[in-house]
A and B are shown apart, each in its own frame.
Chain A
Amino acid sequence: MNKTFFTLGVLLGIFITSTILAEDKIKVVVTYPYIESIVREIGRDVVIITTLAKGTEDPHFVVPKPSLIGRLRQADILFINGASLEIGFLPPLLKQANNPKINPGSEYFIDLSKTVELINKPYNVSRSEGDVHPEGNPHYYLSYKNLPRIAEGIKNGLIRVRTDKQEFFEANFTDFIRRFEEKKKEWDERLSKIKGCKLIQYHRMFNYVAMDANCSIFAEIEPKPGIPPTAKHIESIIEKSKGQKILKIIGDDYHEIKSVKKLSEETKIPYIILPHDVNSLSEVKDIFSLYDFIVRRLTE
C-alpha cells in the first residue's frame, strides 16, 4: 500500500512541478521544419516550438512518435501544412493528446494550405491515380512566391494566441517580409534566365518551383504519384524526351536516386538533387536557404 502512495506522490510531484515550470511563452507545435523556420522568424523568443517531422523524413510517412503526444497536449497552437499531407500520422496523435484547443476545426488549429492557392487539383479523385490529394498538390511551400501568405497566416495565428504581443509579431513579420523582398529580387533574376524551360522530376513535388520559374514539368519518373518507377515507364520517358530540350532532371532527398541517375545517363540530361524541406540536406538550415539552394541548383 505504501508503494502505491509513493507512486501517486511521485506522479503528483511531476504534475505540480511541470505546471509551475510552464513559462509565459507560446507553446507552438508545427508539423514540418519549414513551418518551424517561419514561426521562429515571427515568434522569436516568445515561442517554444516542437516540430513533429524531421527534414529527412518522407513528409507523407512521418513516424507518429508517441512521445510527441505530450507536446501536443500542452500546445497553445498547431500549424499544419494541410492538403492531406499529414493525414497518416497526425489524427491519431491529436486524438491521444486530448487538447481541445488544437482539435481540427478549432481556433488554434491552423491549416496553412488555406492561405494559398493549390494547383494540380485532380480531375479524377481515385486511388487508381496513385497517391492523389483531393485538395491539390500539397508541396505549395516550395514556391517562394507563396511565402508571404504562409508567413501572414502564421503571424495571424500567433496574434490570436497573444494579442498583447501583436506589435511585436507585426514588427517581426514586416522585417521578415523586407528581407524576403530583397531575396526575391535575386531569385527572380536568377530564375528569369531559365524561363520557359522543361523539367523532369521524380515525384509530383516541384510543380510550384516550376511555376516560380515559368517552366513546365515535362515528365515524372514515378508513373503515378507515390508509385515507384518501372523500367517500362523510364523507357517511355527516354523515348518521349528525344529531340526535346530539357533543362534538368530533379531528384529529391528522400526518394531513391538510382532511376534519376539512370535516366540522366541515358538522356544526357544533367540531374540535380533538390531539398523537399528545411533540414533535409545539411546546407538547408532555414526557409531562405531552402529557396537559395533550389534556385541556385536549378540555374547553375
Chain B
Amino acid sequence: MKILVILLIMSIPNLLLAQISENPFLQNKFNPDLSIIADFAFNSSDIRDESREKLEIPEFLHHHPHSHISKARGINFNYLELAFSAPIDVYFDFTGITTLAPGHGIEIEEVYADTRFLPYGFGARTGLFKSGIGRHNSKHIHNWDFYDSPVIYDAILGSEGISDVGLRLTYTFPLDFFLQLGGEIFQGNSGEPISFNAKGFTFLGHEIKDASVPSLFTGYLKTSFDFGEHIFLLGSSVLYGHSNLSQSGHTHKQNEEISEHKQENAINAPGTIVFGFDLTYKYIIDAHRYLSVESEYLSRIIDGTIYIADDNETEEITDDFAIKRKIHKTNSGLYVQALFKFDKRWRTGLRLDYLIEPHVELDGQHPEHEHSEERLYKISYMIDYNFTEFSKIRFQYNYDHTKYFEERMLPIQEFILNLNFAVGAHGAHSF
C-alpha cells in the first residue's frame, strides 16, 4: 500500500509535465521572428571627447549630432538592437525595432505595419518608420558600408536620417525593370530638429508658433535596371516641410572678443525644401566578388525669418534683444563611395564627403564671414572582414576636414575598430 502511495506521489511531477508539454493552448508558434544585434567599437582620435561636443560645421551644423555609434575614445558599447517581425494577420505585416544604448536608454527606432493585400502594385506603410527617400536614409546602422554616416546626412537630415510618424504609399510600375513612386506624410516632429520641426518655442521673447501638423511631405522616384553584370539604381527625392529651428553657434562672428560667447539664433521657415539625387552602380565579378560605386547629393533651401541674439550694442536692437532678419540659405553636399568585395569574407572601400560652400542671404545681403573659407571634405577608408553573415570586424580611418572648433578649422583623424554581431532571425542582404 505504502509503495503504491509513494509511486503515485512520485508520478505526479511526470503527470504534470506531460500535461504542460501537451498544453493545447500553447501559442509559441505565433511568436514573432526576433533578431538581436550588438555593436562595439574601439576608437582613437586626435580630439578630446569634451572638445568633440563643441565641434560645428559653419552654416551647416551647430550641435553634436545624435547617433547610436560612438566616436568617444577607447572601448565603446554602441547599441543593442532588438528587431521583431511577424505577419499581423491576412492584411498586415508588423515590424518593430528598438535599440538600447548607453546614454540613450531604450529608444523605439521603428514600429510600423505594411499592407499585404493592396492590389495593382500599391503598398502602404504606417507607423514610425525611416523615410524611403534617398539612398542612405532607409539603411539600418548595421547595414551601413562605413562606420559613420555621410557628412551631408549629419548636416541636413540627421545622422540616422528622417524617421518619423506617418503614412507612406508606394506604387510599383508593372514594367520589366524597377520603377517605383513613393509619397509620405509625416508629423514633422522627428527626433533631431536639423531641417524639419513643427514644434514652436520662445526665443528671447519672440514666440515661434507651432506649425499645423502633419507638416512634412516627401516624394521619391526610384528606378533600377541592369545590363548583364552591370546593375544601376537611380533615385530622386524631395522633402517639403516646416522648420522651427533653434541653433547655437559662432557663425556670424562680430569681433574677436566674443569668440567665447555662444551666439544663438532661431529660424522660422514655413516651406523648407530638401531635394536629392542618388546613383548606385554595381558590377558583379563572380559569385563572391563585386565592385560598387554609390553617390548621393542632397540640397536644402531654407526661406524664412531668423532671429539673431544680439550682443553688439551698435546694431539696431529690437525690444527683445534679438535682431529679426529675412533669411535665404542653401546648403548642399554629397558623398561618393567605392567598395570592392575582393573575397567571400573581405570588403574594402573609400568614401569622399564634400560640402559645397553654403549660400546665405540676410535681408538680401551676404553676411560677412570671418571664419576662413576652407574646403569642407572628409576622406574615409574602411576594410571589413565577415567571419560569416552574422559577425563582422571593421577597421576605418577618417580624415575629417569639415569641423570647426572655436571658429577654427580643426582637421580630425580617427581610427575605428568596430565589431558587430547578429543572432536570431536571418536578416536580408542589402543591395
Whether B428 and A88, one on each chain, are in contact in the complex, defined by CB atoms closer than 8 angstroms, is: yes
Whether A57 and B178, one on each chain, are in contact in the complex, defined by CB atoms closer than 8 angstroms, is: no
Min Cβ gap B233→A in Å is 5
CA distance A89 to B389 in the complex (A): 13
Report the 3 A-B pairs with minimum CB-CB distance, sorted nearest first.
A98-B123, A66-B224, A254-B287
Check: B192 CB closer than 8 A to any chain A CB.
Answer: no
Whether A63 and B290, one on each chain, are in contact in the complex, defined by CB atoms closer than 8 angstroms, is: yes
Whether B428 and A67, one on each chain, are in contact in the complex, defined by CB atoms closer than 8 angstroms, is: no
Q: Mark A273-299, 1 if CB is under 8 A from B, else 0.
A: 000000000000000000000000000
Contacts A67-B177, A69-B224 given; indicate if A92 touches B121 (C-beta within 8 A).
no
Q: Mark A212-223, 1 if CB is under 8 A from B, else 0.
A: 000000000000
CA distance A201 to B295 in the complex (A): 42
Q: Which residues of B lie under 8 Å from residue A258 when comparing CB positions?
A: none
Whether B177 and A70, one on each chain, are in contact in the complex, defined by CB atoms closer than 8 angstroms, is: yes
Whether A68 and B172, one on each chain, are in contact in the complex, defined by CB atoms closer than 8 angstroms, is: no
Q: Which residues of B lie under 8 Å from residue A57 when comparing CB positions?
A: 284, 287
Question: Can you report 14 A-B residue pairs in the complex whose CB atoms are below 8 A from each other?
Answer: A14-B173, A22-B174, A58-B287, A64-B431, A65-B231, A66-B222, A67-B225, A67-B226, A69-B224, A73-B121, A73-B174, A92-B428, A127-B388, A228-B344
Q: Which residues of A lie under 8 Å from residue B231 when comparing CB positions?
A: 63, 65-67
Whether A65 and B173, one on each chain, are in contact in the complex, defined by CB atoms closer than 8 angstroms, is: no
Q: Which residues of A contact B (CB under 8 A)?
A: 11, 14-15, 18-19, 22, 56-58, 61, 63-71, 73-74, 84, 87-89, 91-92, 95-100, 103, 105, 127, 131, 226-228, 254
CA distance A62 to B385 in the complex (A): 19
Q: B114's closest neighbor in chain A, by CB?
A: A95
Whether A64 and B429, one on each chain, are in contact in the complex, defined by CB atoms closer than 8 angstroms, is: yes
Most buried by A among B117, B175, B226, B388: B175
Min Cβ gap A259→B in Å is 13
Q: Which residues of A lie under 8 Å from residue B288 when comparing CB positions?
A: 58, 61, 254
Check: B423 CB closer than 8 A to any chain A CB.
Answer: yes
CA distance A103 to B172 in the complex (A): 15
Check: B180 CB closer than 8 A to any chain A CB.
Answer: yes
Most buried by B among A14, A70, A71, A74: A70
Q: A15's closest neighbor in chain B, by CB?
A: B173
Q: Which residues of A lie under 8 Å from residue B429 when comparing CB positions?
A: 61, 63-64, 88-89
Whether A100 and B116, one on each chain, are in contact in the complex, defined by CB atoms closer than 8 angstroms, is: yes
Q: B228's closest neighbor in chain A, by CB?
A: A54
Whether A64 and B428, one on each chain, are in contact in the complex, defined by CB atoms closer than 8 angstroms, is: yes
Most buried by A among B114, B290, B389, B423: B389
Check: B426 CB closer than 8 A to any chain A CB.
Answer: yes
Q: B231's closest neighbor in chain A, by CB?
A: A65
Whether A100 and B174, one on each chain, are in contact in the complex, defined by CB atoms closer than 8 angstroms, is: no
CA distance A67 to B230 in the complex (A): 11
Contacts A61-B287, A92-B428 given; indicate if A18 touches B344 (C-beta within 8 A).
no
Q: Which residues of A lie under 8 Å from residue B388 when comparing CB positions?
A: 127, 131, 226-227
CA distance A56 to B123 in the complex (A): 33
Q: Known contacts A68-B178, A88-B428, A226-B388; can you find 4 more A-B pairs with CB under 8 A?
A: A65-B224, A100-B117, A127-B388, A254-B288
CA distance A67 to B226 in the complex (A): 7
CA distance A256 to B307 in the complex (A): 65
